[in-house]
Amino acid sequence: MFEDNQKKLYIIVNRNMDASLLMNATGHLAGGIMQKAEDRLFQDYPNDDSGLSAYLSHYPVVILQAKNSNQLSTALQKCKDANLTYNFFTTTMLGQSTEQQIHDTKVASIDALEFVAIAIYGDTEILKPITKKFSVYG
């Protein structure tokens, strides 16, 4: 078993969405949540022969799946209420311009938001009650 499990980054995707949209959302979510996290830890993975170097999270990144947008909305509200580090991606974040996406997201009611995916980061034990109902994406 992997040793460094004190913290995790969970990305939970809506399994009803197209795979290309899910990949786009997970990329945005992973980058954005690490900007919000105060205690992030990354490691350099250099390769001596090529001179290439990768920079990866010290902690596991786990992709889970939700049955629908409502499950993601509920989990996100629990994260907000518990003051956890979270990020989200909704269909309002698709459109002709960043300005339009921001506007559409801002003015939508919570019930009108269709969640594509969410990300949560923090202590594994604190996140378990929120993540336990989701299965590994596959």
Q: What is the pLDDT of residues 93-102, one digit of tens each?
A: 998 999 999 9
Question: What CATH number did the domain enclosing 59 receive?
Answer: 3.40.1490.10
The predicted pLDDT at position 123 comes to 93
Choice between 31 and 39, residue whose per-residue pLDDT is larger: 31
The predicted pLDDT at position 1 comes to 61
Q: Is residue 84 part of a domain?
A: yes
The predicted pLDDT at position 4 comes to 75
Separation CA 83–CA 109 (nearest Å) = 21
Per the CB < 8 A criterion, the answer to whether 60 and 4 are in contact is yes
Q: Is residue 100 part of a domain?
A: yes
Alpha helices in 2-132 (DSSP H): 19-36, 69-81, 98-107, 124-131
Q: Which two three-digit tokens encode residue 59?
A: 């902690």
Domain count, the chain: 1
Choice between 106 and 138, residue whose per-residue pLDDT is larger: 106
Q: Is residue 2 part of a domain?
A: no
The predicted pLDDT at position 109 comes to 96
